[in-house]
Structure 1
Amino acid sequence: MSFKRKYSDSYNVGYLSDVGNIRQVNEDYLGCYEGNNFNIYVIADGMGGHNAGDVASKIAVENCIEYIKELDRIYDLEIILRSAIVHANSIIYGKSQVDEKLKGMGTTITACLVKGEDVVIANVGDSSCYIVNEHGLKKITKDHSLVQELVDDGSITEQEAVKHPNKNIITRALGTKKNVEIDVFKLNTKRIFKCILCTDGLTNEVSRKEMYDIIMNNNNEEACRLLVELCKGKGGKDNISVIVFGGECEDDRNYTGE
């Protein structure tokens, strides 16, 4: 088993990254930092069809976290998280322009910045953020992918999208262009029991119901281990990465999500 446990000054978070059953290189990367004033959680999936996807994902996560850690104060969470991702994009793009071995590298990124009751989630690509609340498991981010565009325009159904042959084609990535378009979502911690960040290696194999059941019935670290094991047991062709953080959930809440 190959896994990465990076940037963890945390106590209420589980995280695991595994190469999966088929790949030789783990192009996923993840990181988290829980401080006195804010918490930041980041996950990235290097683009397998490009050079140095593992380099791009590592740069994205580490530079996003370091950018925020070095700030004198945490003010507007949206501005800060956008700026951190733009900063990481600039570094990846810059390196790809001067090193032929890194030319064309790119990565997805999904990040969650928490301060007090405020939560800001940002994403580029098709790595996902879910929350568990009183209604069950809910996906917060929206994939930037060809298949999602087909779903949006009614060409295919959500069910058809799950096994679509072009599921891995993304329409936005970090580091492939000088400028990057970032989606941002604002939430409040009051009604969130858990938060989950994961790459598509997990969601390609594990259903939302399976994810919910494991997360609700295990602590965060054990939940990550069980999710990766389940994913590999069901095929696990891609790299698999997951972060779970938040307080413990009550077992008697009924699942009402997908």
Structure 2
Amino acid sequence: MEACGCTDQGRVRLSNQDAFFVDAEAGICILSDGMGGACCGEVASAVAVDSLRELLLPLQRAADAAAILPAADLPRPCGSSTYTCLAGPDAQPLQDAFLQANVRVHAESLRQPRCRGMGATASVVLLHRGHWLAANVGDSPIYLFRDRCVVPMHTTHSLEAELLRTGEPVDPEDMARARHLLTRAMGVERQVTADHCQMPARAGDIVCLCSDGLSNKVTPEEIMAICLNFPLRMACENLIMLANARGGEDNVTVIVCRLGMVQDDQKRGVIPFIGRVLRRLVGVSSGAALSLRQATAGPLCRSGARIHG
């Protein structure tokens, strides 16, 4: 698996409350978004990422020697045509990791008076025994791109999503207010339940995790198009550039991982062309790709490293 993650402050926020961790060798990606720009959001996201990393890395390394899980051994689908609910031995360690990470974030919020009520989203993808395992709390999405189709591997825990799932008519103004209200977050309460899914992995799969600073500005289909046509780091930087060009009101973090190598000789002609189209779309010159950020350093990116930002 190849993987790269980038984070950027955006054009409006005074700090970056997102955090991420990427370890391509261990097959693990983690992303967290501090809740709603609230006080200590950067603390909540950092504790969530550090805790999940500490808890899940041993699980992944122990699984390296384990046999590939046959597709026939997957649990029965849970009403979804796209993914399978987790069950059996692979499910519980992942759920336990979220529970323990939530306890740590909650305890930190009680330990520091200024951090009372803090919270964060958390999204995790593991390449585990030949399968993608995904779990999330909050509204940071996880997408699988396969056969040029977008397959969501997350459940959005926002009031807006809950209202949409009811199918009842809702006033547009109420819906707009509900968009940013989370129904689940790490650390707000003593316990939290993550939603999970599992799919057999295939060569050529691309998985993307992102904060809502990206998903609120760029459609899943646009994200897929950029991920399909650029090397991983360029894809991450271009997605951040596009979100910032469309307003950049929030922090923007994206992780892209790919299973199997891309045929570079097939991409040499299309990448410069797509790059020119993208730059025209966002209205910036080729030299401005990294200058849209308030800070001068550009996005913080890490490729397959055991580092979070």
2:206 pairs with one of 194, 201, 209:
194
CA contact (8 A) 2:28 2:57 kept: no
User: Hey, what does 1:25 align to over in structure 2?
Assistant: 15
The one-character-per-residue Cα deviations of 1:44-85 (angstroms, maximum 9, x if unpaired) are: 001135321100001111110111224583373322221211
Separation in 1 of the partners of 2:245 and 2:160? 25
User: Hey, what does 2:103 align to over in structure 1?
Assistant: 90
Separation in 1 of the partners of 2:157 and 2:169? 16
The one-character-per-residue Cα deviations of 1:203-228 (angstroms, maximum 9, x if unpaired) are: 10011221111111001111000000
The one-character-per-residue Cα deviations of 1:63-109 (angstroms, maximum 9, x if unpaired) are: 10111224583373322221211111111111111220111110000
Q: Structure 1: which 5+ runs fail to align?
A: 1-10, 253-258
Q: Indicate whether 1:40 and 2:28 are aligned.
A: yes
CA contact (8 A) 1:81 1:113 kept: no
User: Hey, what does 1:64 align to over in structure 2?
Assistant: 52
2:255 pairs with one of 216, 240, 243:
243
Q: Secondary structure at the match of 1:215?
A: helix
Distance 1:14 1:245, change over 3 A: same
Separation in 1 of the partners of 2:126 and 2:248? 29
What is the aligned length?
Answer: 237
Separation in 2 of the partners of 1:192 and 1:171? 34
Q: Secondary structure at the match of 1:73?
A: helix
Higher helix share: 2
State the TM-score, normalizing by the size of structure 2: 0.71
Separation in 2 of the partners of 1:14 and 1:98? 34
Q: How does 1:71-220 map to 2 (within 5 A)?
A: 71=59, 73-74=62-63, 76-155=89-168, 164-190=176-202, 193-220=205-232
Q: Secondary structure at the match of 1:42?
A: strand
CA contact (8 A) 2:32 2:140 kept: yes
Separation in 1 of the partners of 2:251 and 2:37? 14
TM-fit CA distance, 1:34: 3.1
Moved more, 65-74 or 92-101: 65-74
Distance 1:156 1:25, change over 3 A: farther
Could you tell me which amino acid in structure 2 is paired with residue 185 of structure 1? C
Please say which structure displays the higher CA radius of gyration. Answer: 2
Separation in 2 of the partners of 1:192 and 1:92? 36
State the TM-score, normalizing by the size of structure 1: 0.84
Q: Secondary structure at the match of 1:152?
A: helix
Could you tell me which amino acid in structure 2 is paired with residue 105 of structure 1? M
The one-character-per-residue Cα deviations of 1:85-139 (angstroms, maximum 9, x if unpaired) are: 1111111111111220111110000001112312210000000100111151222
Separation in 1 of the partners of 2:176 and 2:169? 9
User: Hey, what does 1:16 align to over in structure 2?
Assistant: 6
Distance 1:28 1:156, change over 3 A: farther
Q: Secondary structure at the match of 2:62?
A: coil
Q: Indicate whether 1:53 and 2:41 are aligned.
A: yes
Q: Structure 2: which 5+ runs fail to align?
A: 67-88, 268-309
The one-character-per-residue Cα deviations of 1:132-190 (angstroms, maximum 9, x if unpaired) are: 11151222212000110111112359xx79x8343111100000111111101011102
Moved more, 109-118 or 169-178: 109-118
